[in-house]
Chain A
């Protein structure tokens, strides 16, 4: 059983389109995250949710809107896609949002904007 799953694995789309990435975890964790990994492999936090509530919102364009319908799911919707949005997006989860929590990552979604 996959602990943290994401769909789709690959997403190729045109500039200006709107797309969503879905994430689900079956670990019973309270906290979920979205990360962006750029072409130089640099990994940066975008959002964090704890029990469906947004707790971290980095300086991300408001074209990116996360939604957490329940604590096992965290989706990412992106409006008006731009070339610079091309990256790998990782979902992750941790037991709580505390300082000692290990994060477990999904397989990633490679987004290519043409």
Chain B
């Protein structure tokens, strides 16, 4: 079955430290994409970072990097130098072929709390 698993319902990190949010995925398709989205308390879904299944290098976007380990089917998000504004819900997602076309499956999310 195609699914995304985020095993950390909540995480705490001290301001200015790095934090890793875990994500594992399950698919037998060779072509898929992985994404991370941030949802602050205001509710909007903000795209953070993308990794394609054929990409050789880990994706990076500013303070965000995606630790892509294909053999282990993991796509962890690393946030460096955490800021108070990073406190939010973080969703890992996978885009895969399903009945009717490609669709995006979301994990249950991890709530990150950044402490001052």
State the A residues within 8 Å of B (CB): 40-45, 48, 50, 55-57, 88, 90, 92, 97-105, 107-108, 110
Contacts and interface: CB of A to CB of B under 8 A. Distances in A.
Given A41-B108, A88-B43, A108-B43, A99 B100 contact: no
Contact of B103 (A48, A88, A108): A48
A41 B9 CA distance: 11
Candidate in B35, B39, B52, B105 with the most chain A CB atoms within 10 angstroms: B39
B81 interface: no
A5 to B, nearest CB: 11
A111 B108 CA distance: 21
A102 B101 CA distance: 15
Contact of A42 (B46, B47, B97, B106): B106
Given A99-B95, A105-B44, A108-B43, A41 B101 contact: no
Contacts, number: 66
Interface residues on B, range: 20 to 34
Interface of B: 31-33, 35, 37, 39, 43-47, 50, 52, 89, 91, 95-98, 100-106, 108-109
B101 A55 contact: yes
Given A48-B100, A55-B101, A56-B103, 5 more contacts: A45-B103, A99-B31, A99-B32, A102-B47, A107-B43
